[in-house]
Chains A and B, each alone.
Chain A
Amino acid sequence: MNTDRLIDMLSTNLEPVKDGQLWKALSWAIVIGLMAAFGVMLVCFGIRNDLAAGNHSGALVLKTVFALSFVGTGAAFLTKSIIPGQQAGHRLALIFLPFFAASAATLAMVVRQPALASGGMIEGAAAALCLFCIPFLAIIPFALLIWAMRRGAPTDLRRSGAVAGLVAGAIGAAVYSFSCPSDSWVFVFLGYSGAVALCSIIGAQLGPRLLRW
């Protein structure tokens, strides 16, 4: 094929391009992902039944905000990761800001009240359960995010996949907090962080296959 002919073809009847398409697609993916995951949670796990009494609303808010803060920091990098030439480089560490803040808080709590760390077998089981439930709830949000990201042009597929996994995992965690039976912060912290990290690793593995263009 002659290059002049190709250029002719590409510039004939050119359509103007609207600004902000990528941002819009990603926002929709996150919003619909949140709603879909919430629906799946209602059907598969159900809202914790003692929640209506309002006894545990403090713990719930803490868990939800912790998870949503990952969605917030992750989303900023999602947009960047699908624009060529804007990979954030070392600033990617900012994504872990909520994690570092929460680990510092947890460490402080455990140092003050070591009893918190020995919550017993039941809490340990709850943490293990969320390692399964959160990635499960993250499936639909992950698929939606990949759909939105494929409209962009990711150039580092592994990293973009990892960020998508992280945001999807965080959406799963935020939704799971409505069902999660544990109020022990130490276990919630370990379980949620572990589950989100797991989602991110899976995302990094899938990225090169799903995001290639």
Chain B
Amino acid sequence: MDQAHPSEQELRELMITGLEGDGAAHRTLLERLSGHLRGYFKHRFARIGHGPTEAEDLMQEALIAIHTRRHTYDRSQPLTPWVYAIARYKFLDYLRRTKASVRDVPIEDASEIVAHDDAVSIDSDLDLERLMAGLSSKARQAIQCVKLDGLSVREAAEKCGMSESAIKVSVHRGLRALTVLISRESRA
């Protein structure tokens, strides 16, 4: 790592605290990353003539990926290259599935991800309710209870008649399935 961006240290601390289960730190991290990712994708998309809505879609997909794959982050390493690698993968994957040209995607360096920041949020074309309809009923119920209604895992387990670990697994699998559904949506 040559010149680390000043936000690297803060973002990394937020990530590590979030990994320990601190929801507030995780929220702040995702908010900050959403700005960086939005800027990054908008910039990338502008070069190939795509609009801001597609950038917002992909940013949300990348955000869910960062959340569901956060166990792959090695706490002893800097965070920016990890986030950047995911963003770049999602961008290339988007180009592949929409059959856009991959040829004009230069290999940038990881600092590019923090060089962009864009706080102007617009609604993406993704409809959470419609996406949720594509999940298994177990996953849908678990996400509804724990992630949207804010019930604790224990309360959700009682309400849905599942064990606590089944709830946790359903939430995790459901969120991962959501990214698959989102990527299918943008292929169409």
> Footprint of B on A, CB under 8 Å?
1-19, 21-22, 82-87, 152-153, 155, 212-213
Contacts and interface: CB of A to CB of B under 8 A. Distances in A.
Chain A binding surface, main DSSP class: loop
Interface in B6-32: 18-24, 26-27, 30-31
A84 B85 contact: yes
Interface in B110-147: 110, 121, 123-124, 126-128, 131, 143, 146-147
A86 B75 CA distance: 13
Contact of B124 (A1, A15, A16, A87): A1
A17 B73 CA distance: 10
Interface of B: 18-24, 26-27, 30-31, 34, 56, 59-60, 63-65, 67, 69-75, 77, 81-86, 88-89, 93, 110, 121, 123-124, 126-128, 131, 143, 146-148, 150-153, 168, 175-176, 179-180
Contacts of A13: 23, 146-147, 150-153
A209 to B, nearest CB: 12
B128 A1 contact: yes
A13 B155 CA distance: 12
A5 B63 CA distance: 12
Contact of B75 (A5, A7, A19, A213): A19
Contact of B34 (A7, A17, A82, A212): A7
B78 to A, nearest CB: 8
Nearest to B147: A9
A32 B147 CA distance: 36
B56 A14 contact: no
A11 B63 CA distance: 11
Contacts of A9: 128, 143, 147-148
A14 B56 CA distance: 24
A153 B65 contact: yes
